[in-house]
Structure 1
Amino acid sequence: MGSKRSMLTNGLGDALSQSIAECNRVFDLFTGSGAVAWHVAQKYDREVIASDLQSYAVALAAGVIERTEPLADHRWLDSWFDCAREMQPSRFFQKATNLQEKLEVEQIAGAAIEARELCADFNLPVCFAYGGYYYSPLQSLWLDTLRIALPKNANQRRIGLAALIIAASQSAAAPGHTAQPFKPNETAGRFLKEAWMRDIQFLVKRAAVSVSEKHALKAGRAIVGDANELANQVIEGDLVFLDPPYSGVHYSRFYHVLETVALGEVGEISGNGRYPPSEERPRSQYSLRTRSKPVLDGLLKVISQKGASAIVTFPAGAASNGLSGEDVADLSERYFAIEEVKVSSRFSTLGGDKKHREARQNTTELILRLSPK
């Protein structure tokens, strides 16, 4: 996806600063990685309401925006990890550890077969669904048991869950998202091995320390929900940040692994990507070519009627969901006075194959500041 984290230093941060000065609350209705919600919550004394259809995105946002103090004492991390370790069956742990130690010298094809056989009958969600694919058995075991052992303290739990999702993303054996894992063959096997050798305990602890140092200036809320429905909660004086989907494929197909980590459960799985059934994956009308334009029009109309202002970001060219930057600007102009900025950015094609398109491409991104007419 387009990196809002980088855009915050490349025009988006300035647009937010100019708009927030005159607003009461900030809504981030497609929060995604939570980068914008975190930025606003840490920098401005405003309540931030972040939402998304996917639970992992909401958990990431909540890790910062629902807390108003840093957590400087990190001793709880040791207790959390000790509790998780006590939950790990000794026989499975020993086999997973032995396999992990052999990764440096063993051929990945053989290791993958052994890993999949080990995890196939183990009834924990990450191990069962993704062990031997996106993660090694040992990585999977730690992700599962740390998820089960999350602290009861609300702030520690928020930080811990956000850290698990971050570490799961950083260690996944997949090309930037989790649509499909690397295969244990001559082409991708080395990338699979490299990912499986990442220290999941280190990554979780590093992420937890980093998140714990961040906090909101004013307590906000993170909500799983539809953007168009939540827009009805907007009132005059609010600022709404919109970074709507641009892909014609539902984003849940690319982030189902992180969703499993966030929820701590998984149902039936199938396909090369180890997907849950389509009816169990969040579906957005913004990813349907026949619906993307009317649902965006409806969203902008409601925000305008509420008397709120908005900031919209979208690739300047044509996107695979049928919308273009020109469409977004035209729809916005129906309801708002527009101030437009264009910046250079890089975004994911969500499935580049290097034959027909690269996984990441340079693009021009629109930043539209929308003021009530």
Structure 2
Amino acid sequence: MDPRKILVLGIGNAQADLLKWCKEQELEVHACSYTNMGRGMHDADHFALIDIKDTGKIRQYVNDHKIDFIYSIGSDIAMPTIARVAEDSDLFSFINFNTANICQNKVRLREALGADFKYNIPFRRAAEVAGFSDWNIYPAIIKPVDSQGQRGIYEVESFEAVQSHFDKSSSFSSNGEVIIEKYLSGDEISINAYVFDNEVKFFYVSDRISYSEYPGGIIKEHLYPSKYAHLEKDLKVLVAETIHKLDIGNGPVYFQICIVNEVPYIIEVAPRFDGCHMWRLIKMTKGIDLLEIAMTHLLTGKINPSSFLTSEGDTNSRYRLKFLAQPPQSRVKYSTGQSASGQLYTEHYYEEGDVVPEMNGYIEKTGYCIDRIEP
């Protein structure tokens, strides 16, 4: 019997986990990207140079090669393509195109959540800087409406600052639109959840630590357990109400949340895996393999309820997923101290001496490690 075929959109660091899993399961692995430069390339049996936003060409590839499954992790821009092609080609998808389209666009997400939704924040969209001339909520954040990876995000204190950064932010948006939002001053957390048949089956809260010296909330590390674990009841309500509003009935869901005076506000919702390899931290701390669960769900349409049974280990320790990072265009150099006591896992994205590619333009991930922080 011929192996089942999966098409993975993207071959970068976020997709490397997925591509490796598919290869290990002896699927016939197809991949595509706008570039052939990516760490996941060596786990693809077949590769096509196709922009993952090009729905027509992706659909044609699926039909020509009789692809059975299409998926991606850690990528907002892949989700609408996956949902649309799956619908058109009668393939299983966790979410529909409308949901993917909403979550991939920051304005549509805010509008779908609704102005009266208590976890939402004030916002406005504009294609020209003049559209923000009478915005009076400062400090604020401006962002391209549909970019990813913290590109084009700036904290602004006045309309003059908006004018200064608007063109750069707009350049990262596919249609030139920019969103401005009320700036939230507080700690950030991440929520990784899993939904099956409209019910939240898994819920995991971690503290999200970003670089204070760079704009845009660039991720530095995740810590578990979260110091906001006491808000679990409210956070579960937030997740349940949000997935209902957005019609997320199946699959992984990632939330980025800001806590202000013990009240959670939504920064981002994504019906996908995060791009931070959090599934590995979850597996190490809870004994639950979300990647395995999601892919079994995708390939069979089912999940085993026992997959969510936890085997949580040392509850007195704190665990950290920390990114290794360097400035763009520098030469990769890994510290010799990465084998310190308490370290559980390390993964490098590049070889020593490689040039660090530019993504956000400030500080770029070169790998990550997971360690245990003793109490």
Pick the structure with more helix per residue. Answer: 1
The structure in which a higher percent of residues are strand is 2
TM-score relative to the length of structure 1: 0.30
In our comparison, the structure showing a higher alpha carbon Rg is: 1
Q: Which protein, 1 or 2, shows the higher relative CO under an 8 Å CA cutoff with sep ≥ 6? A: 1
